[in-house]
Structure 1
């Protein structure tokens, strides 16, 4: 059977895209599957497109594309209403391209994944293939004009599928006489290939679009209560959106900047869920809750608001998580603390979450869709599955507990002979090579085989910068390695490496264009900043002073603030030892004001050990976050000079994860 999915933009990220890619990949094991992306917005999809799934874009809207200047793109659509309620991206060109595809496809099932695509399927779709609509939001959350138009179209479909049973009941009541079959099938969530979460990280993880309906403000306020009771726990919020700045402001306002981090968007999320102990969802409304299932799959119990409609159909209250009162920070906080304060409960819930999440595995959901197809039409000829393509320069990089990285590559068996991995320092000729050894195979969580290479990142010293991973073939081809996944949970909370050669750190990551890369730091010595406390008139720091050799006897370390553009301008602050390698000090803001040079002064933080030892740069190079400039934010302070002039002073993390101060007129 050939199955085609109509998708708005398969190259982006989001719940509908993930669900469609997951379902398509599972169905492709037994069927011919095509994803038809109306728009192409990137060179490659951000999600994981399984081998055997064909991707067909219809309209290219990338920069400099001929479609952007196509004459038809300036003419209105006859299918999509000219209304603010409907996407303005659809025009006469999309009418032509979608209509041509639907008229000519040999698919036996066509599935439309959003209201506007149902309109096209109703307008152009032939009756000799099954026409199925999907609802990835909810009936009540749709814009009224879209909801009304969709409800008019649903009776034209062979079936209409919602992602929750409660939403299917709403549609059945609204459309009691519709001949089409209305039912619910949950979204499929890919089984993680990442290492399951290891209990003890003391991190709560949340993920989704930073928009009002997700109510991350409720979660942040709830976490304020958590911190008062358990200051050893932290919160990470992944995602991007219109509410980002408001949420950052709330974190600073509530003094939570040492405990709450806005991490930005991350795809795929499975490696980040695995860094946590608990997942949190505080939405006012959820059509399904893919993030809930994703978190449960790696073993995280979930605290979610009991909002309409999805969470209550996924979470078993008291078994694999808790349902809290929507919009109530105290209810969310108490649910979180109940799990945080009971290690045995957390372990029981973790195992239950992993077991209960299996009912959403793609193969399970694909079988339910196959049962639907068989119910709608029988005795259809099964078409042979096309041969799976092999992408050799594709791999996974995993940070192992022993401090090495395990690079797993698609090329397997004796075919791996003669291949080697090249690790090249960006914008440099510096390169390291590691040969592949045939037979060094490992199996991931989905049963797939990979050739594994162990890489010790300390072999990249003494260079500091960004390294790109490349696969070199025996016939001389050299390609960057596409990242299927990068796992860094074992780096979470890890200090930089300290040995006789100095201090180093290495954090692997997935680049914006989906390749494997590694950011490294190497220093003769380093001061790793811990807690930061902004008080009236000063900023305090706790840090670990990492020295390959003990400081000379009789030395007294100092914190030194040095002006970036005038290296002769500096001042020193006394440092107090706190035990072991720990130090603490406070930087008085008046010292900056007494030394104003330009409109904006940048001061870099160093530690002076003394005794002939070179000054040590201070920052945050440990852990698993490569760009702390975006995640580690501190409140600013408003200070006045002796002349009464107001200045804004703020500590911040630089592009290199070092710590500096900005001083400018308020």
Structure 2
């Protein structure tokens, strides 16, 4: 690939739309005329088995001035996960594709989204820790979007919006301990007209001592009368421009019993959870 002397790798400016579409404008500074390359999106962690399902190929069209454009339409159906972005020259093997650097990312239209359908498709372009461009994709149907999280003593109250289903008379929320499927804490959930709310007493998560970190994931079960999904609906926050809430959305820790501290937070996949850790101050 021939690129400018100033830049050794291609760079892409991205514009994200509220429908899940993304426009990629690439500056390749190609020094020779020839066939136009393609943009390749590869699902991270997927086996490279020829491209079905784990590779998206987007044609690049000339814009002039050495720039090319590719469009990921909102109607595309990439799997949920993280997709790394590459440029592949015509005739080259996929393994020879060149990683793309992130340029300007316009994600303003992702803020304050109110989807009109039960199927939620979110795509957020973002820079990786090693300086490459990637796209975080979520596909949820139905979906429980977490909203305000408030506290009253040792209780956590969560409000949110429910898409693609409704609450039945026996709707509830389950906190499930990661790695221990038999450890479940259930609380009732209320709501109307597409909303939900529940209050979780944090001291109910662990009836005994906590000697190492525990991670409790929160799921909403809409109720049998609502055509409930078999595993429930993961409570997450994905309808904005934040691709990874793990380290930026952590609530202050609170007592969850003697020697136990509960820290509500989000996972790297933006799923709402509660982390229990030994409290050295209380344990003295």
Structure 2 residue corresponding to 1:661, chosen from 264, 274, 280: 274
Is the alpha carbon distance of 1:596 and 1:606 closer, same or farther for their aligned partners in structure 2, counting shifts above 3 Å? Answer: farther
Shift of 1:415: 4.0
SS of 2:76 mapped into structure 1: helix
Match of 1:398 in 2: 15
Structure 2 unaligned segments of length 5 or more: list them.
Answer: 49-53, 280-284
SS of the residue corresponding to residue 109 of structure 2 reads helix
Decide whether aligned partners of structure 1 residues 570 and 498 sit closer, same or farther in structure 2, where only a CA change above 3 A counts: farther
Task: Give the match for residue 613 of structure 1.
Answer: 228
| Offset, 1:574 | 1.3
Matches within 5 A, 1:464-483: 464-476=80-92, 478-483=97-102
- Which of 488, 499, 506 is the matching residue for 2:123? 506
1:375-418 Cα deviation digits (max 9, x unpaired): xxxxxxxxxxxxx6575732212213554211001247994743
- Please report how far the alpha carbon of residue 424 of structure 1 lies from its aligned counterpart in structure 2 after TM superposition: 0.6
CA–CA distance in structure 2, aligned partners of residues 412 and 665 of structure 1: 55
Residue aligning to 2:260: 647
Shift of 1:597: 6.7
Alpha-carbon separation, structure 2, partners of 1:663 and 1:401: 36
Hey, which of these two has a bigger chunk of helix by percent?
Answer: 1
In the TM superposition, residue 587 of structure 1 has moved relative to its aligned partner by: 0.4
User: In the alignment, does 2:70 pair up with 1:453?
Assistant: yes
Q: CA deviation at 1:482?
A: 2.0
User: Does the 8 Å contact 2:18/2:113 carry over to 1?
Assistant: no
Structure 1 residue 487 corresponds to structure 2 residue 106: yes
Count of residue correspondences: 262
Aligned residue for 1:628, secondary structure, equals: coil
More strand by share: 2
Larger radius of gyration: 1
Query: Structure 1 residues 574 and 481 mapped into 2: Cα distance closer, same or farther (>3 Å)?
Result: same
CA distance in 1, matches of 2:75, 2:155: 37
TM-score (norm 2): 0.81
Instruction: Kindly indicate whether residue 137 of structure 2 is the aligned counterpart of residue 520 of structure 1.
Output: yes
The alpha carbon displacement at 1:425 in A equals 0.6
Are 2:15 and 2:24, in contact at CA under 8 Å, matched by a contact in 1?
yes
SS at match of 1:490: helix
Deviations 1:552-586 (A, max 9, x none): 8x544211111222211212111121x43111111
CA distance in 2, matches of 1:423, 1:436: 13
Structure number with the bigger relative contact order (C-alpha 8 A, sep ≥ 6) is 2
Alpha carbons 2:19, 2:121 under 8 Å: kept:
no
For residue 628 of structure 1, the aligned residue among 236, 240, 245 is 245
Deviation (angstroms), 1:458: 5.1
Seen in structure 2, the aligned counterparts of structure 1 residues 625 and 431 have a Cα distance that, compared at 3 Å, is same
Contact 1:397 1:516 in 2 (8 A): no
Give the alignment's Cα RMSD to 1 decimal.
2.7
